Amino acid sequence: MEKKKFTDSGIEINSLYEPAEGNINREIPGKYPFTRGIRTDMYRSKLWTMRQYAGFSTAGESNKRYHYLLSQGVSGLSVAFDLPTQIGYDSDHILSDGEVGKVGVAIDSIRDMEELFAGISLENITTSMTINATGFILLAFYVALAKKQGADLKKISGTVQNDILKEYAARGTYIYPPRPSMRIITDIFEWCGNELPKWNTISISGYHIREAGSSAVQEIAFTLANGKAYVKAAIEKGLNINIFGKRLSFFFNAHNNLFEEVAKFRAARRMWAQIMKDLGATDPQAMMLRFHAQTGGSTLTAQQPANNIARVTIQALSAIFGGTQSLHTNGYDEALGLPTEEAAGLALRTQQIIGFESGVTDTVDPLGGSYFVESLTNSVEEAAWDLIRKIEEMGGSVAAIEQGFIQNEIAKSAYDYQIKVENKEKIIIGVNAFESNEKDLTKVFRIDDSIRKIQSEKLAVLRRERDPAKCDQILQLLNDHASSGENLMPTVIKAVESNCTLGEIADTLREVFGEYKG
């Protein structure tokens, strides 16, 4: 008897797909519901934005990597921040010990931001910042720096991740409880709509949900449910869905199961178009799901790390076949440590070879019309809608997170996957099959603990040189505005321009909103 085959989400795969009503797609790219892509010509006229996620140590060291990547042909920057920056602690805080500059760059003040982008015109580059709980503060640093550079804020473009719901569900770098956090996010929507019209105000992230162990179906179901919660919160604030809807973006993971990943991206676009239409959007641009993709960090293996080059190539192809607008490819050495310059360069070359040599960009939605891909797109969509309906019955994403539903579903999926790996139902080359006893000689890039001392000394100088009375005054104003419900962004920008630190701003709001304990 033939053994049954399944995708990683548990969808059964037939041995052969033939024409059927459900797997013939006559939709047009660039038209609602955008299953086949958000532009009629896709990559024929313009390739996706090639980003390489980078940030480590001090702002000065990260700036050197950015200049290297720009010289090698990246078309957009993507900033990684260290854990203290992500959860609102200055580098000299006791809880920052051992973490400063380790998984990203340490940013404590506007001075660090100036150093991070030294020699880079913010008006002429798009920047993605992977930051959530303190996303509003990092955006304020970025805006303050742009103003210093004399940039036209109407021309500044980029993205702040700003997706706090997935932090409660999957990642853990939250500060405030869900409801005040949602208020901060809609403040960003409102302020950017008036002052920073080309800025993507949120990147609703399935990436970290997938890294925590979800399936492909769960990734889009939970991500789109979170997106729906943000849209509803913005509508309740009185914002126009046809305006803020155009600046919403998404961030998805790209894993090894090529066809399921392509189906996932296509299904997500169709589903989001329907969600936005049902919520009242009438402008097609407000119904488009635009997304950045990153290859799967959790799929990288420390064993035989050179194998990761092949994995990343397959994953990058899935994102491109799936119609991504922006892509980061992981370095082959990232299961061991931060990527070396050589590994980051090779990861970028992977994108460039696909884009300029492979021919996959010559036609729109090249896998569209495949009986298998169209059927699988429908199956992924159907399974994702089932999950979204369960979340809606609980009262939406915030309620589902508060009840632990989403967290438990991810945990069960991660457990099931690990059991399959241990039982060799799921083969991972170099891990549970085709192992090697040869010693691995891959160089590992590590950050030492001296960075905290450097950052602490810079903070001490800043505090000596700034006007303390002015800082106290603006932080009190921030406290008042947080209590009164006034939009926080103008006051936070004034605070960073007055040399208040990230930790001081975050602590001021801790006093008003409290901290989420999970």
Question: Which pLDDT score, from 0 to 100, does residue 473 have?
Answer: 98
The structure's pTM equals 0.92
pLDDT of residue 449: 79
pLDDT at 430: 95
Joined together, the tokens standing for residue 89 give 């602690």
**pLDDT exceeds 90 at position 329:** yes
Mean pLDDT of all residues in 359-382: 95
Tell whether the model's pLDDT for residue 509 goes beyond 90: yes
Q: pLDDT confidence of 24, banded at 50, 70, 90?
A: confident
pLDDT given at position 167: 95
Query: Tens digits of per-residue pLDDT, 114-170?
Result: 999 999 999 999 999 999 999 999 999 999 999 999 999 999 999 999 999 999 999
As a whole number, the mean pLDDT across the chain is 95
CB proximity list for 364: less than 8 A, separation 6 or greater: 29, 36, 37, 40, 41, 42, 43, 44
Predicted confidence band at 445 (pLDDT cuts at 50, 70, 90)? confident
Select from 55, 101, 61, 99 the least CA-distant residue to 78. 55
pLDDT at residue 15, rounded to an integer: 87
25 pLDDT above the threshold of 90: no
What is the model's pLDDT at position 354?
A: 98
Instruction: Decide if 117 contacts 158 (C-beta within 8 A).
Output: no
| Cα 97–chain centre separation | 26
Per-residue pLDDT band for 443 (boundaries 50, 70, 90) equals: confident
Would the pLDDT of 359 be above 70? yes
| The residue type at 195 | E
Residue of higher predicted confidence among 301 and 55: 301
Cα 392 to Cα 54, 149, 274, 348, 397, distances in angstroms: 37, 46, 15, 40, 7
pLDDT at 43: 96
Residue 17: per-residue pLDDT: 86
**pLDDT at residue number 155:** 95
Q: Are strands 76-80 and 49-54 parallel, antiparallel or unpaired?
A: parallel
% of residues, the chain, pLDDT over 90: 89
pLDDT attached to residue 21: 66
